[in-house]
Amino acid sequence: MPGHFEPVPGGGAAIALDEVEISILRSLAVQLLELIGPGDEPVEGEDPLAALFAEGPSEPPADPALARLFPDAYIDPAAEKPDEELEAASSEFRRFTENDLRTHKRDDAVAVVRGLDTLTVDAEGGAVLKLTAEDCVRWLRSLNDLRLTIGTRLEVSDEDEGAGLYRLPDSDPRKPMVMAYLWLGVLQETLVESLMP
């Protein structure tokens, strides 16, 4: 089980993590929460249905990592000339969906932090994290968000999948982020494999 998820009887998955890995995962999840931003606190006495229909932003985020987490709907980024009707539809879609999507992404990242916070490190400096099937889904979504964020910061494109990053010298300041990106990919892949029948 070291370094990767394995299936557990009855569904779910488990992974052995050392103190450093726990700390890194927790730190990344907290940074993701900070990037996504705080949610709106419900106002006492406010109609709960009103929050469901609250309007969100109509413009894409300026931060490229947030734009990757909350992409435009309907718009083809490769198009030479933007289609005004598609831009308007995308803006409208964002206005009614982004707040909810942010809430879900926040909830997933909080589930990662809480799961890690339940661990008690043993005398050898490690712990075993056990996830239910429901926890696994939240972790998968959050691992994906973390990889998208880091990949955006590293300017990994869909075409090269960051092939040049594998050859970075140890002195390159991006190296720790590259290592985290690759490690998260292994975690994500083995978690998916552990859930397959």
Nearest to 97 by CA among 64, 65, 74: 74
The pLDDT of residue 132 is: 95
pLDDT of residue 76: 74
Q: pLDDT tens, 26-39?
A: 999 999 999 998 76
Tell me what the pLDDT averaged over the chain comes to: 87
Residue 1's pLDDT is what? 42
Q: What is the DSSP string of 57-88?
A: -SS--SSHHHHHHSPPSS--TT-SS--HHHHH
> What is the rounded distance in angstroms from the CA atom of residue 36 to the CA atom of residue 56?
14
For 152-170, the pLDDT digits (tens) are 999 887 666 666 777 888 8
pLDDT by residue (tens digit) across 65-108?
999 999 988 877 677 777 888 888 888 888 888 999 999 999 99
CB 56 within 8 A of CB 97: yes
More confident residue, 132 or 73: 132
Q: Sorting pLDDT into bands at 50, 70 and 90, what band is 64?
A: very high
